[in-house]
Structures are given as C-alpha cells and as structure tokens.
C-alpha cells in the first residue's frame, strides 16, 4: 500500500507539472483513483477533498 504522504506528493507534483495543461482525461482518471482510495480508506477524507480541490481548481483543468 502506498502511504498517504506519497500520494499527496505525487498529485501535487503532477498538478504543478507543465504537462498537466490539456490533460483532462488523465486528470479525470487521477480523480477516479483518489475517489477509490478514499473509499478504501487508503487516504483520509480531508486529504481526498484537498487533492480534489487542488486538481479542480487548477487553471489548466477545463471543466466540461
């Protein structure tokens, strides 16, 4: 199992990476993965909310 801190670091790095721009399909899969990890209690609800807000709040993520 991947520790919660590792998941946080990976998502934060991914969101800040220049390749993130225009990769909505990939980020949608990251959001699904976060949902699954929260459901399986691999990450806390607070972490799930924070990472989800970070992704959705990014200026690179286009909302459909």
Q: What is the pLDDT of residue 1?
A: 66
Would you give per-residue pLDDT tens digits along the chain (64 residues)? 688 999 999 888 888 876 666 677 778 888 999 999 999 999 999 999 999 999 888 876 665 5
Q: What is the pLDDT of residue 58?
A: 80
Q: What is the pLDDT of residue 6?
A: 92
CB count in 10 Å sphere of residue 5: 10
Relative orientation angle of helices 45-57 and 24-39, to the nearest 10 degrees: 170
Structure tokens at 3: 């520790």
């Amino acid at each position: 199992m991947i520790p919660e801190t590792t998941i946080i670091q990976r998502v934060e790095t991914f969101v800040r990476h220049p390749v993130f721009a225009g990769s909505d399909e990939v980020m949608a899969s990251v959001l699904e993965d976060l949902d699954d990890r929260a459901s399986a209690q691999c990450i806390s609800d607070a972490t799930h909310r924070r990472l989800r807000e970070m992704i959705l709040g990014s200026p690179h993520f286009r909302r459909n």
